[in-house]
Amino acid sequence: MKLCVLGGSSVHTPALIEALGKRGWTRFTEISLFGQDQRKLEAIGTFCMHRVEQYSINCKVSWSNRADVALDGSSAVLNQMRVGGMDAGIEDRINLAGSGFVAHAASYAEALRLLPALGRLLPAIRKRAADALLVNFSNPVSAACEYLATETDQNIVGLCYHTTLARSHFAKYLDVDASDLHIETFGINHVSFITDVVVFGESRMGELKTKIISQRDKDYNYDRILSADAIPISHAYSLFRTGERWYVRQDGIRESLRNVILHFTRLDLSTLRKEKKVRERAFEDILSGKQEVVAELAKAAPWYDKTIVPFLFDYFGNGSGEHTVTVRHPSERPAETGGWTAEYSSIVSNGAILPQAFKRSPSNSAMSQLRRVVRSETKLVAAIRAQSLDEAISALLIHPNVYSRVHAERFLRNYFPLAGC
């Protein structure tokens, strides 16, 4: 069984080998890395090959900057591409500061880079890995899954580390094991709501909400729990706030001030620039063969050990567990969010992904805004497929985080015509 990793030249990729090695994984007989930068790809591939040897795993590590070669015969394809790397991330941050986009709408910058890149790889995927499970870990997860679902009949699933973190945080609040939680999730990735948390058949939602509110936990938007009648996850909080007013945006006064400074001075990119330097140092350590870097990479990229590998273990192995995943639901039960692709708590076991039924929905106001996000994202995917600036503007104007046509046009002129289309 072969696993192909798109974006395999990432400095974090050795953490995937580490997560597999810790479990003594033997299901994959080959891990193939695909990337554009041949120098980085060869260095990462060689390093991963040595790590496999140290774990005595019966698995071959290969790499190629040709998609058809890397994908050939794959049973699973993991997409972790970050198109343009850190430099593109810095450019996107500047563009977003100037356009006034925050929260979920800010992910559209990544969508406009990622989806055309996926489109260029699809012919090779269809030809060389037609029966493979496509596992998307690149942001924006729901947009990428929707795009792939419209372009191919293959099985597609999206994963996100944020949902794994939420599960572990809730377990600590309730003093239980994370594996004993059943979580009802409603929405799409990064704009979702927890509507119930069950432990051994008993709802603990009331207790959990009370603790989050009493501790004023901003990670779960404690001040929005009552109005949403659910626990907002990630960017869901911004759906309840108005758009930009005199540069004050939906992520608050402090962040708005940072955006204004960035827009006019190009300062305050310290976080991204620091991350870029950290990755560059990690790559130099990989080049020199320093094995100690593995522990640092595993700490910097915990999603392999906590999210991706547990899912692969349950899907391709003999395990079984509850995972929060993004899927396009079968036509007989369209996503209750009003679109086709949504995030669900699902039981994953032996090649099956079974979305679990839920009993409660968020408040009507939350549902109304959520449907707008779904329509916007679905329309943006169609605009990217059609390479249409007018359709993209129309898609953005639906989104609750986009204040005006001026903002939409200001943002999109940085990306159209779409690169590589």
Does residue 388 belong to any structural domain of this protein? yes
Question: Higher model confidence: residue 354 or residue 3?
Answer: 3
Spell out the residues 6+ positions from residue 79 whose beta carbon is closer than 8 angstroms to its own: 6, 7, 118, 134, 135, 136, 137, 138, 144
What is the full DSSP assignment across 72-83? TT-SEEEE---T
CB 145 within 8 A of CB 133: no
Of 4-13, 48-57, 219-228, 322-331, give the lowest mean pLDDT range. Answer: 322-331
Does residue 310 belong to any structural domain of this protein? no
67: nearest Cα among 47, 39, 41: 41
What is the full DSSP assignment across 264-283? HH----HHHHHHHHHHHHHH
Does residue 397 belong to any structural domain of this protein? yes
Neighbours of 416 (CB within 10 A): 18
**Given this model, what pLDDT does residue 340 score?**
60
Which residue type, as a one-letter code, is found at position 127? K
The Cα 378–Cα 400 span in angstroms is 14
Does residue 316 belong to any structural domain of this protein? no
Tell me which residue range forms the domain holding 391: 368-412
Where does the pLDDT of residue 266 fall: very low under 50, low under 70, confident under 90, or very high at 90 and above? low
In the predicted structure, residue 288 carries a pLDDT above the cut 60 = yes
The Cα 149–Cα 382 span in angstroms is 12
**Given this model, what pLDDT does residue 144 score?**
96
How do residues 384-394 score in pLDDT, each as one tens digit? 999 999 999 99
How do residues 26-56 score in pLDDT, each as one tens digit? 789 999 999 999 999 999 999 999 999 888 8
φ, ψ of residue 30 in degrees (nearest 5): -150, 135
Spell out the residues 6+ positions from residue 394 whose beta carbon is closer than 8 angstroms to its own: 379, 383
Does residue 314 belong to any structural domain of this protein? no
Asked, as a colleague might, if the bond just before 417 is cis with ω within 30 of 0, I would say: yes
Where does the pLDDT of residue 332 fall: very low under 50, low under 70, confident under 90, or very high at 90 and above? very low
Of 68-72, 261-265, 376-380, give the lowest mean pLDDT range. Answer: 261-265
In the predicted structure, residue 343 carries a pLDDT above the cut 70 = yes
The DSSP output letter for 287 is H
Does residue 56 belong to any structural domain of this protein? no
In the predicted structure, residue 241 carries a pLDDT above the cut 90 = no
Q: What is the DSSP pairing of strand 202-203 with strand 191-199?
A: antiparallel
158: nearest Cα among 123, 134, 184, 126: 134
Does residue 380 belong to any structural domain of this protein? yes
27: nearest Cα among 47, 56, 2, 49: 2
**Given this model, what pLDDT does residue 221 score?**
80
Spatial strand order of the sheet with 352-355 comes to 60-64, 30-34, 2-6, 76-79, 133-136, 156-158, 320-328, 341-349, 352-355
**Given this model, what pLDDT does residue 244 score?**
47
CB 324 within 8 A of CB 157: no
In the predicted structure, residue 339 carries a pLDDT above the cut 60 = no
How do residues 115-148 score in pLDDT, each as one tens digit? 999 999 999 999 999 999 999 999 999 999 999 9
**Given this model, what pLDDT does residue 75 score?**
97
Does residue 379 belong to any structural domain of this protein? yes
Over residues 341-359, mean pLDDT: 87
Structure tokens at 275: 């991350």
For the chain, the domain total comes to 1
How do residues 58-114 score in pLDDT, each as one tens digit? 899 999 999 999 999 999 999 999 999 988 988 888 888 777 777 788 899 999 999
CA atoms within 13 A on the CB side of 342: 26
